[in-house]
Chain A
């Protein structure tokens, strides 16, 4: 599975959009981009995933560049409860070692009032 690179930390003002970048320049054609977050003292929470088209759900939007070498997770109106470590993970959709989500260090997002 491809490796990802994320900034170690970011700040965002409450009510503003939080844009979290992720580089995955070695992504292969059958690999998806997944995002998780881990709020302090909780287990990770699945947020969204995508292949090449932009995706949106009730939690966030995922923008993937045309060459698929990077992506951005967007929280449109960040709240204090969005303060968490955000992980970008690249892996195949099916098959392989399903359990092996390779969590990097992620981005610690701090939403400030």
Chain B
């Protein structure tokens, strides 16, 4: 399994500002994913990030609000733009298993974001 780190681990931000979250993996992986977990809720996939191509966003999430970069096979960033209190959530990155099994993913510890 991959070891995944995220920065920052938590942040408190003012509305209208943007925050970039970093996700670093200890090995090369093809697919990386970004999820959101709103307070008291389960996880929701934001987008899939493949190296060298545009991220694929799920319904309800748009690139202008959540731009993603994937410059290489071990790193990705998610930016939460023009934040509002409704963006207060835990943001998690995950990576797919190199075995290709679609349901097997490994998650980072998450970034806890509070927007005031």
Contacts and interface: CB of A to CB of B under 8 A. Distances in A.
A3 interface: no
Q: Taking chain B's interface residues, is the majority helix, strand, or loop, or is none over half, making it mixed?
A: strand
B44 to A, nearest CB: 8
Contact of B43 (A34, A95, A103): A103
26 contacts: A32-B103, A34-B103, A42-B109, A43-B107, A43-B108, A43-B109, A46-B104, A93-B102, A93-B103, A94-B101, A94-B102, A95-B102, A97-B48, A97-B56, A98-B31, A98-B48, A98-B96, A99-B33, A99-B45, A99-B48, A100-B45, A101-B43, A101-B45, A103-B42, A103-B43, A106-B42
A49 B103 contact: yes
Contacts of A95: 102
User: Is chain A's interface secondary structure helix, strand, loop, or mixed overall?
Assistant: loop
A24 interface: no
A105 interface: yes
A52 interface: no
> Which of A32, A34, A46, A105 has the most B CB atoms < 10 Å from its CB?
A46
Contact count band on A = 20 to 34
Interface string B73-85: 0000000000000
Interface in A70-113: 87, 89, 91-101, 103-106
